Structure 1
C-alpha cells in the first residue's frame, strides 16, 4: 500500500499526515509502521479526510481517534500549504472534539507557517494523587475531549513514567493519556516534559512537544492561579497557550518532507 504523506514539525513534535483516503480500520496498523525508525520516525500520525461541516476546510482524524493539539496546528498548516485554506482565518475539524476549531495563519513562508488554533475546553478537572508505593504524587487530571493529562509539579525520574502511566490507566478510560510534569521558570514561562500514551495503538512516547499537554497546563493554571497567557517550553520548542473565554495554541510548524510511504504487508 503506497500512501501520500506530509511530515510536519510543530516544536519538533513530528507529525505525519496521510493525505490519501484510508479505511479507518487500518489507521492503527498504518500509524504503527509510519512511526517506526526505518519508516518516517514520526511521534504521531493523523489522516486528512473531507470535513463533515460545510464551513470547515478539512478534517483531521488521529490514528487512535484521540485529540491532539499539535496535529491540529499541523493540519491547519497543511491546509495553507496545499491551498485548501486560502484565507487567513478558517475552520477545521478534528477527532476527539465535536465542534469545528477556528484557525489563523500568522506567518506564511515557503516551509514554515506560524499557526494559531482554537482548542476545546476541558470537560473536567479533578485533583488526583498517584500512589506508586514509594511515594504519593499529587496533581490534577485535566480531561479534554479525546485525551486526559495528569498535570503535576513533581519532578519525576524518567524511569518512573511507565509505572505512573500504568496507574493512571486504571483511573481513566480516556482514549489517550499524558503525564505533564512542569516547573515554573519565572514570569509566564513554564517548562514541561510530556509523556503520552494512546490506548488503541498502544504507543508510549516521550514527546518533543505536546499541544494538548501545554493546553492542560494552561487550563490548570488559569483555574488555580488566574493565568491567561503562558509560554510553555518543552524539549522541542515553545508553544504559546492562551486561556479565557476561548482557548488557543500558537506555534511554528515546519514542513520537513512529503512523498509516498510504502506500507509493506506483514510489517
Structure 2
C-alpha cells in the first residue's frame, strides 16, 4: 500500500492553484437561449483557447444545458462600454443581448444604451436595454448589408460572421434532418464565415416558427438552438423577400418570441427577454487547458 504525506499533498494542491487562474462565468436565458459569458477582462485566457474552454463548458452537464459561450474582454478602443468575443469568433445576437443586460445590471440601471465591440463585425454594436413589467428586454441594432440568394428552394443569407441556409417546411425539422440538410450544403460553405446555420421556417400560431441548427467551425459543435437571434434576422429577411413582411415576431423552439424589425436602411433590430440564471467559477491553466467548474448557485450578477 502506498501512503501519501498529507502535508506534501496540500503543498502540491497549493502550488497547482497558484499556477491556475480563476474565472467567473454568468449563465443567462435569452429568449429561451441558454448562454454563458466568461469574464476574461483580465486577459488570463488567450483567445486561441476560447474554443477549448467553450467546448468544456458546453459539455458540462452541471450547467443544465448551454447553447453558446462568449468571452467578456477589455475594449480595444476608447468609447465602447464593453467587448464580447464569441467562442468561434462568430456574431451572436443573443449573446450580445445577454451582455447588454449584464452591463445594465452592473451599473444598477433598468434602462440604457450600450456600445459593444464584438466578434464578427468591425464596428461596435448598439444594445438597448429596458424593463417591461419587471422583465428585462434587450435589443440589438445591427448595421449590415445582408446578401440573400436562393437556389433549389434553399435561401442563403449572409450576415457578418455567419451564413444561414433557410428552407420553408410545413412543420419543424429535427436536429438529425437539419444536420443532413446542412451536410448537403457543404459545397456552399466558405471559410470566411465563422459559423453556418441551417434553419427551417414553419407556420405557427398565426406567424412563423424557426428551427435553428448552428455549426461553429472553431469549436466543431453543431447545436440545435432553443432560440437564435441571427437566425431570426435571417428568417425575417427571407420572409420580407418572399412575402413582404416588414415587422414580425418569430416563434423560437423555446416557446418564446424574438421581434425583428428593419429600423432604417440596412439597419435591423432583434429584441426579446433576457434574465440571469446563475454565476459560477472555474479554473483554467494555459498549458493544460480547462480544469474544473464550480457553480455557486447564485442567481445574481457579481
TM-score clears 0.5? yes
Q: 1:38 to 1:156 in 2, by over 3 A?
A: closer
CA distance in 2 between partners of 1:58 and 1:108 (Å): 24
- Of the three residues 51, 60, 73, the one matched with 1:49 is 73
Alpha-carbon shift at residue 119 of structure 1 (Å): 2.2
User: Retained in 1: the 8 A contact 2:52–2:289?
Assistant: no
| Other structure's SS at 1:14 match | strand
Q: 1:84 to 1:50 in 2, by over 3 A?
A: farther
Q: 1:156 to 1:122 in 2, by over 3 A?
A: farther
Alpha-carbon shift at residue 234 of structure 1 (Å): 1.1
Query: Within the alignment, does 1:201 sit opposite 2:219 as a pair?
Result: yes
Spell out, residue by residue over 1:140-193, the C-alpha distance to the aligned partner (whole angstroms, 9 max, x if none): 100001001111112564232222111223212121111110123365x21111
Misfit runs of 4+, over 4 Å: 84-87, 263-267
CA distance in 1 between partners of 2:172 and 2:261 (Å): 26
Q: Which residue of 1 aligns with 2:258?
A: 239
CA distance in 1 between partners of 2:146 and 2:215 (Å): 19
Q: Which residue of 2 aligns with 1:151?
A: 166
CA distance in 1 between partners of 2:67 and 2:241 (Å): 30
Alpha-carbon shift at residue 15 of structure 1 (Å): 0.6
| Other structure's SS at 1:243 match | strand
CA-atom RMSD in angstroms: 2.3
User: Please, which runs of 5 or more residues in structure 1 have no aligned partner?
Assistant: 130-137
| Other structure's SS at 1:105 match | strand
Q: 1:38 to 1:211 in 2, by over 3 A?
A: same
Query: Within the alignment, does 1:164 sit opposite 2:184 as a pair?
Result: no
Spell out, residue by residue over 1:52-74, the C-alpha distance to the aligned partner (whole angstroms, 9 max, x if none): 34221011100100001101111
User: Retained in 1: the 8 A contact 2:84–2:96?
Assistant: yes
Q: Which residue of 1 aligns with 2:88?
A: 64
Q: Which residue of 1 aligns with 2:59?
A: 36
Q: Which residue of 2 aligns with 1:9?
A: 29
User: Please, which runs of 5 or more residues in structure 2 have no aligned partner?
Assistant: 1-19, 291-302
TM-score normalised by the chain length of structure 2: 0.78
Q: Which residue of 1 aligns with 2:245?
A: 227
CA distance in 2 between partners of 1:99 and 1:260 (Å): 30
| Other structure's SS at 2:107 match | coil
User: Retained in 2: the 8 A contact 1:219–1:243?
Assistant: no
Alpha-carbon shift at residue 260 of structure 1 (Å): 0.6
CA distance in 2 between partners of 1:25 and 1:45 (Å): 14
Alpha-carbon shift at residue 254 of structure 1 (Å): 1.1
Q: Which residue of 1 aligns with 2:282?
A: 261
Q: Number of residues paired by the alignment? A: 257
